[in-house]
Amino acid sequence: MIGKGTKLYSILRMKCPRCHKGSFFKSHPYDFSKMGEVKEECSECKLRYSLEPSFYQGSYYVAYALGVALFITVWVLKLVFFPNLGPGGLLITILVSLFLFSPILYALSKIIWINFFIKYKKDAIKSVQEE
Ligand SMILES: [Zn+2]
């Protein structure tokens, strides 16, 4: 479906953007003690995930775009399935969905942000042969 080597693979599986093998986050996005915490480096290809100090501040722009996308999705779903729901109901629905999805949006914004700067390299791990 989504093959290795594409940025979507790295983003959706939350893998290292260079080798697509090592995991990017310390834990699952909904593990609240380590929510959105990025590892120091890739366990497979040793890529340092923080390219420069405060590197992930730029991911706020991505988080904003994802938030807008979520808003539009909720709004369209409301129009299709609950056309009689008033503005108060829409507001509550948006707030609840933002609350539910913010951990995954936060994690996605970071992995999308680093994928802007790092390209996939097939031979990033020299010792690992192609399967
Ligand atoms: Zn890697």
Structural domain tally of the chain? 1
For the stretch 28-40, pLDDT in tens is: 999 989 988 999 9
pLDDT digits (tens, 9 = 90+) for 50-91: 999 999 999 999 999 999 999 999 999 999 999 999 999 999
Q: Does 66 map to a domain?
A: yes
Q: Taking the model in full, what pTM does it have? A: 0.87
Residue range of the domain that includes 89:
7-117
The alpha carbon torsion through 120, 12, 111, 3 (nearest 10 deg) reads: 10
Note whether residue 129 is domain-resident.
no
Measured in Å, residue 78 CA sits from the centre of ligand 1 at 40
Distance CA 117, CA 25 (A): 17
Decide if 40 is inside a domain: yes
Residue 25 within any structural domain of the chain:
yes
Q: Which residues surround ligand 1, an ion (CB under 5 A)?
A: 16, 18-19, 22, 42, 44-45, 47
| Cα within 13 Å of Cα(127), Cβ side | 3
- CA 46 / ligand 1 centre spacing (Å): 6
CA of 49 to the centre of ligand 1 (A): 9
- Contact at 8 Å (CB) between 3 and 96? no
Nearest to 103 by CA among 51, 43, 33: 33
Q: Which two tokens stand for residue 48?
A: 């340092």
Quote the ligand 1 centre to 4 CA distance (angstroms). 13
- Please check whether residue 124 lies inside any domain of the structure: no
Half-sphere exposure of 88 (CA within 13 A, CB side): 0
In a domain, 2, yes or no: no
Residue 127 lies in a domain: no
Q: Is 35 inside a domain boundary?
A: yes
Question: Rounded to the nearest whole angstrom, what is the distance from the C-alpha of residue 113 to the centroid of ligand 1?
Answer: 16
